[in-house]
A and B are shown apart, each in its own frame.
Chain A
Amino acid sequence: MSHPQQRKQQMSVLDRLQRYLPQLVVAPPFLLLVFFVYGFIAWTGIISLTNSRMLPTFDVQGIQQYVRLLAMDRWNVAFDNLLIFGSLYILFSITIGCVLAVLLDQRIRAEGALRTIYLYPMAISFIVTGTAWKWILNPSLGIESYMQKLGWESFQFDWIVNRDMAIYVVVIAAVWQASGFVMALFLSALRTVDEDIIRAAHLDGASTTRIYFGIILPSLRPVFLSAFVILAHLSIKSFDLVVALTNGGPGYSSTLPANFMYEMAFRRNQIGLGAASAMMMLATVAAIIVPYLYSELRAKRHG
């Protein structure tokens, strides 16, 4: 009597295991991320509340590291640089990327080759990009001296060693690297625009320019938003490019928050301060990403 019942119970255990298999498979990577992303955020948060110098401690003191941070010239320079760099980087990358995409959309025969050329910088590392631009823009042997030797003797382009201009050099290299990516985003969206609407507008006598500004570009609003969000979060994370291009200099005139954090945590034994600056970076990213993800995921569920 008991034998078949036991077997039935065994079956149901296996059945249940089978039913919960998806959860069981997701659980390990999910727990890894909970620990290594959210746990580490909390961990860094705690360090930022301590007086940690060379080694992290867990002796919570309060928010004095944040107070120190906000009063530091170096941090304020880094944050102002982020605002300058971020806005110019986003503005120019989107403008150039969008113009290139619209031009490429005009039935260009060599489109494939041109697209490959515009996008290749995205495949190489920021360190290589920084190295290349540092060489091109160095005043003694780079483009400045080349132009002067060609006979344009008043030509000056010394931004990379100029305290007030060095951050704009970072903008140039970063736009060079990212604008092709924005072009690819826009081009793939342009390909989904309904041809019939364009044809109808043509028949009504609208010019190509008006069709683009009046109909096509406004319909690409979601792409502008995506491009903005991606570029904004990339600008906050920017670190390597500055390291290779200007190393934050001259002085600390071209540091970004990410460089500030690294400098404090690994070079100056100011781990508590480094942790506080990392929390500020995270807050800046979250202010942009969380509303975006929230609206995207909500729209998907209802759509």
Chain B
Amino acid sequence: MAEPKTLPGANGKRHLLGRLFIWTLLLAAAVLYLGPIYVVLSTSLKDLAEIRAGALLDLPHELNFTAWREAWSSACIGVRCEGLRPYFLNSVIMSVPSVAISTLIGALSGYALSLFRFRGANIIFALMLFGCFIPFQIVILPMAQTLGFLGVANSITGLIVVHTIYGISFTTLFFRNYYVSVPQELVRAATMDGAGFFRIFWHIMLPLSVPIIVVSVIWQFTQVWNEFLFGASFTSGGSQPVTVALNNLINSTTSVKQYNVDMAAALIAAAPTLVVYIIAGRFFVRGLTAGAVKG
């Protein structure tokens, strides 16, 4: 059993060649995946003269953090020259409530849909599931009018409303699929003991739910942070999220292109979700595959 899986009949040399082949392919792929982030990082640390010399793949001669400082606090985006910082904060203010509220609602409705199989529960679930797949172009025109009607057009509050609503489909899907595997006897027994709907949720289900809460929070955070269409459609100027501000910075044509500042800004915008991925990648993968291993 401890013996590694050598192919019966294959001799040692062929096996070695096979391993070499596998490793070559895997490492080549790793280089291709890491390439872009390496180029972006090294460009962000070079000065403009070095960049114009055209040594794209070379390491920077010396580490120069000026571009990072400028991207964070003084680069001009539109008419404002305060760097990415205010927009970064917008994205933080936008993400925290939308993630928290949609996860809470998803937990409750997923719990109700999975453990109390009332009539129509499956149809309701199917209708909610379809909401995960719609192209959001289909809702932006009515949403723009509705946000105006609610008095939250061009504001972070408006984006929080939008992200919360369209996050519910996903969070409900996560929790419903998680709770489906909880034995119904558990709920029945608790009901016999006189526990009500919310007490069962609070005392029995929530303590079981830590992994799926993490999955839901990470998924929603990644989605909301990286989102662009809603931000670009519903906000302008000072209330834009970081993805929209980054795009405006990159595509501004007014001044001399500062590639190092652009690249530093891209990394700043990507940093939060990258950090979450590196710390909790396992849960991130579960969120990604939950949509595929549906139910």
- A residues with a Cβ closer than 8 A to B are 18, 21-23, 25-26, 29-30, 32-34, 36-41, 43-44, 47, 56, 96, 99-100, 103-104, 106-108, 114, 116-129, 131-136, 141-143, 145-146, 149, 176, 180-181, 184-185, 188, 202-203, 205, 207-208, 223, 226-227, 230, 233, 236-237, 239-240, 243-244, 247, 258, 261-262, 265-266, 271, 274-275, 277-279, 281-282, 285, 289-290, 293, 296-297, 300-301
Contact = CB atoms under 8 A, between A and B. Distances in A.
B137 A262 contact: yes
A188 B291 CA distance: 14
B79 interface: no
Nearest to B229: A239
Interface stretch (B4-12, B92-100, B207-215): B4-12
A285 B138 CA distance: 11
B203 interface: no
A184 to B, nearest CB: 5
A157 to B, nearest CB: 12
Interface of B: 4-5, 7-9, 19, 22-23, 25-26, 29-30, 32-37, 39-40, 43, 51-52, 54-57, 105-106, 108-109, 111-113, 115-116, 118, 121-122, 124-131, 133-143, 145, 165-166, 168-169, 172, 196-198, 222, 225-229, 232-233, 243, 246-247, 250-251, 259, 262-263, 266-267, 269-270, 273-274, 276-278, 281, 284-285, 288-289, 291-295
A22 B197 contact: yes
Contact of A127 (B105, B116, B140, B246): B246
Nearest to A142: B56
Contact of A134 (B5, B112, B250, B288): B250
B40 A38 contact: no
Given A26-B124, A123-B222, A240 B243 contact: yes
A147 to B, nearest CB: 9
A262 B105 contact: no
A285 B135 contact: yes
B50 to A, nearest CB: 11
Given A100-B26, A285-B134, A290-B130, 18 more contacts: A21-B196, A22-B118, A25-B108, A33-B168, A119-B285, A124-B270, A125-B243, A125-B273, A127-B243, A127-B266, A135-B263, A236-B135, A274-B141, A278-B141, A282-B138, A293-B126, A296-B294, A297-B125
